[in-house]
Amino acid sequence: MSTSTTFCTLLQPSCIFAKNCRNLCYKRSCNCYSFSYCMMAINTQNSTFLPLQEKVVHKNTTARVIELVILSLLVSLLIYRIVYFNDQGHYFPWILALLCESMFTFTWILVMSTKWNQCSTKTYPERLLNSVNESEFPAVDVFVTTADAILEPAIITMNTVLSLLAVDFPSNKLSLYLSDDGCSPLTYYSLIETIKFAKVWVPFCKKYNVQVRAPFRYFTPESTPLKDDSLEFQQEWKKMKNEYGDLYKKIEFASQRPIPCDRNSDFADFYNVHRSDHPTIIKIISENKEGSPNDLPHVIYISREKSSKHHHHYKAGAMNVLTRVSGVMTNSPLMLNLDCDMYANNPQVFIHAMCMFFSFKNEEDAGFIQFPQAFYNGLKDDPFGNQLANFYYLANGISGIQGTFYAGSNCFHRRKVIYGSYPNDKLKTDKKDLHKIFGNSFELQESAAEILSSSNSKIESQRRPSSFIEAAIRVAGCSYEYGTMWGTQVGWMYGSTTEDVLTGLTIHGRGYRSVICTPDPPAFLGCAPTTYTSANTQQKRWAMGLLEILFTDKSPILLTIKGNLWFRQSLAYLWLSSWAIRSFFELIYAALLSYCIITGSHFLPKVNEPAFVIPGGIFVIYNLYVLWEFRRINLSFRMWWNLQRMGRVTAMTAYTFAFVTVVLKLFGLSNIVFEVTQKGESNDDEDTSGRFVYDTSPVIVPGVAILLVSLTALVSGMSRLGEVGFGEMVCSVWMILCFWEYLKGIFGNGKYRIPTSTIWKAGALALFFVQLCRRWS
């Protein structure tokens, strides 16, 4: 529990215009957003004595009761399995059902534990501005990461950069680092041109208090100044729109042709380099030499050294290079990391973060501050189930334990925590220890000692990045980490493709807590996958990385036993890490339904048995409960159904492949490849957003096979209704409804048709399964 004063009363905005400021308006925002929570009842003279953030506890009694009822039914089902085990003529389906239902019960216990205590945090930026001088704010190093200029278009990355440069925060307290893991001259060129535009865009935003500071969201095709706006504003608005149009055209034109990288050009560093084999490139694009709060912040381009002889550890490796380079160049006590598509949607996001850092007396209460991931291009009703809307209650629940997961973006970190410090523990800072931990760079050792021996809020760096380029290039080398603790005890952790969750788990394992901050409007907005293929790729990568965590030396169980990870926090991490394992049991359960129908056996109670109410009650109560949860946060029935069906589809496709891939890796038979998710719209001429488009990937083969088996079983069962179980038939129909899009894909045309090769592979698996069932019957 935080040592700061907490309140359980959620104060409501008193300004009727507050909600209007949530819209992506093109004009100057009304002044109410400057005090966005509009707590006008607060006496500003006494604001110094009011908390900068409040913990809001949400009543959760009804949900707890329903969850306990579902748990009691699940336990009753297990008891039924054990008690009536000897009465069954077919032991095989009964044993499989018992194993699967045991896993489902365990999963439900994990979910209940995570959701039990619902709370959220509310910040008051206006109180901070009234009580703390901007000169007292700690400096922040901002990291923006991109890995592929094609899958992650440069114009999206540059809008993220522009939104960050224009936030309401002293520019002399900011340094922005762009990590280009694709070593793309296009990204470098785009950044140079973007900084030129930023010199007029940032003053414009601050002069007119523009709320949406990413130009591609501010200058929409239908946006125009209002007639009651001043003539000066209208003129500057038109000028700014034209300027941004020119920037867009430059970047778009550059993306359609190779950028000349001659030895004598400005792009000489990119001459004859390959994205996976090149030396370090560090360029200072903008430097605030005078330390003026009104100039642009430092802006630095980084493309770390790559070599086929060295493992580069994907995003975790890039983050560690950013940490070392920034430690040498600017050494800010706080760090914010963002994916390239996550632009700053709320210009006061840094002020909200400062509310957190200034309000906690003990650093252990806020090891990191996580802002939720939200999306500006989210498809209506989330047809692919990838917009994380169903994480609302889980996020509030884990906030009531040791704190939210680290989500890989939108997160403020304390550099001291990333450097491996423990709460209330002073690390040794002698040269021998620093060399062993951080490497042989004297500059990095010196900056690390400064961080580890000082209070974050008291560090005031006046470094000029241009004075440390050589040292920065040295610490960005691909062999620098050998013989150090980077990736094992310091920095972002290696060992999983979901380096974010593993790093957050390690921080929690040291005893730190974390905090989630949910301002209105959302702090950051990003780009969600808009095609089924990219959404499936993302889900598969998440499930693989999360499962890998269970087999590292930092698994939740080990950190609970040997570290300082809270027990219930460990259960929350177990739920998250076991996505791929659960998919294996879901796949077996789905196949078991068809097996029983084809063989004329059953594993669910018959309709005339009193025990039939147990699985029937679980099915009805659970689905109604989840629907009730969705309606409480104003989500549609359609979204509920999409998430229900995609939960089954994703489990039996992406998660199943993730499970198999990790198992093969553990046996040394395969290596995991990091796949970048496509950002922005598809390059196809036809808009396929929200529609199921298929490729030749084998990921969907198990799902198509389950559909074909379920259809076969249903047809077989219809011909002998009196011999098959009613429960099995209902569940088979439910499975077919969940895979309805696949059924449409089998008979579809063009890109909306599942490839013939995939259908044949799935058909062969289905035929083999059906023949196996008949042989065992």
Q: Distance of alpha carbon 479 from its chain centroid, rounded?
A: 29
**Residue whose C-alpha is closest to residue 321's, from 186, 431, 456, 486:** 486
Cα 716 to Cα 289, 385, 489: the distances in Å are: 78, 32, 58
Question: With b meaning 16 or more CB within 10 Å and e meaning fewer, what string describes 147-160?
Answer: bbbeebbbbbbbbb
Phi, psi of 564 (to 5 degrees): -115, 25
> 640: number of CA atoms within 13 Å, CB side?
16
Tokens matching residue 620: 């009805």
Q: Report the distance separating Cα 444 and Cα 463, nearest Å.
A: 13
| Radius of gyration of the CA atoms of the chain, in A | 28
> If DSSP states are collapsed to H, E and C, what string results for 692-713?
CCCCCCHHHHHHHHHHHHHHHH
Nearest-angstrom CA–CA distance, 615 and 624: 14
> Is 246 part of the annotated catalytic residue set?
no
What DSSP state is assigned to residue 341? T
Amino acid at site 590: A
Distance CA 170, CA 168 (A): 7
CB-hemisphere CA count at 13 Å for 577? 26
Cα 246-250-255 angle, rounded to 5 deg: 150
Q: What is the 3-state secondary structure (H, E, C) of 450-478?
A: HHHCCCHHHCCCCCCHHHHHHHHHHHCCC
Closest CA to 346 of 376, 389, 322, 319: 376
The answer to whether the bond into 13 is cis (omega within 30° of 0) is: no
Dist CA 509 CA 585 (whole Å): 29
Tokens found for residue 681: 């719209």
Q: Is 357 within 8 Å of 138 (Cβ atoms)?
A: yes
Structure tokens belonging to residue 364: 């252990």
Q: For residue 181, indicate whether it is catalytic.
A: yes
**Which residue out of 180, 181, 269, 365 is catalytically annotated?**
181
For β-strands 368-370 and 524-525, DSSP reports them as: unpaired
CA 148-199-288 angle, to 5 degrees, is 85
Q: What are phi and psi of 214, to 5 degrees?
A: -100, 115
Q: Name which of 118, 114, 129, 131 is nearest 10 in CA terms.
A: 118
Q: Residues 480-518, buried b or exposed e (16+ Cβ, 10 A)?
A: bbeebebbeebbbbbbbbbbbbbbbbbbbbbbbbbbbbb
Asked if residues 333 and 137 have their Cβ atoms less than 8 Å apart, the reply is: no
Catalytic residues: 181, 500
